[in-house]
């Protein structure tokens, strides 16, 4: 069945470091992937997305990499800031924007 999972539940980094959050997915037919950030008590917030015809996409301080061969996604955050502390989810589009989310990785940024 469809599933999206994350390798690490918690990632602790120092302010200014680069962060890498990984995600594995199982549905090889998925063609659209999204990373969300969720702060405590708030709904998920869109960060960046990527379609399956791409292997890399860059935003402001964030980069998403897609490796379809091993069904792996990663989110890279450059120069991590305390405000980046949150839970990060990857999600795949199972059709009609019905998203399948992973369990999340908590990013803790120390000053």
Partner 1 sequence: DTGVSQDPRHKITKRGQNVTFRCDPISEHNRLYWYRQTLGQGPEFLTYFQNEAQLEKSRLLSDRFSAERPKGSFSTLEIQRTEQGDSAMYLCASSLLALGGTTGELFFGEGSRLTVL
Backbone angles phi and psi of 9, in degrees to 5: -75, -30
Question: Which CB atom, from 26 or from 46, has the smaller least distance to partner 1?
Answer: 46
Question: Which CB atom, from 4 or from 73, has the smaller least distance to partner 1?
Answer: 4
In 3D space, the residue among 14, 41, 3 whose CA is nearest the CA of residue 107 turns out to be 14
Closest approach of partner 1 to the CB of residue 16, in Å:
28
Q: CB neighbours of 60 closer than 8 A, spacing ≥ 6?
A: none
Closest approach of partner 1 to the CB of residue 15, in Å:
25
Which residue ranges make up the site for partner 1 (CB under 8 A)? 4, 34, 36, 41-46, 49, 89, 91, 94, 96-104
Q: How far is CA 79 from CA 8, 45, 60, 97, in A?
A: 20, 20, 11, 31
Question: Which CB atom, from 4 or from 109, has the smaller least distance to partner 1?
Answer: 4
Coil, helix or strand at residue 84? helix
Question: Which CB atom, from 15 or from 94, has the smaller least distance to partner 1?
Answer: 94
Closest approach of partner 1 to the CB of residue 43, in Å:
3
């Amino acid at each position: 069945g469809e599933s999206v999972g994350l390798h690490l539940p918690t990632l602790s980094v120092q302010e200014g470091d680069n962060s890498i959050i990984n995600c594995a997915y199982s549905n090889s037919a998925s063609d659209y992937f999204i990373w969300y950030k969720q702060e405590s008590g708030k709904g998920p917030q869109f960060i960046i997305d990527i379609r399956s015809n791409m292997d890399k996409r860059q935003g402001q301080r964030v980069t998403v990499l897609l490796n379809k061969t091993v069904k792996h996604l990663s989110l890279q955050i450059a120069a991590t800031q305390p405000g980046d502390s949150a839970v990060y989810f990857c999600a795949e589009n199972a059709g009609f924007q019905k998203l399948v989310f992973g369990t999340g990785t908590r990013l803790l940024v120390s000053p």
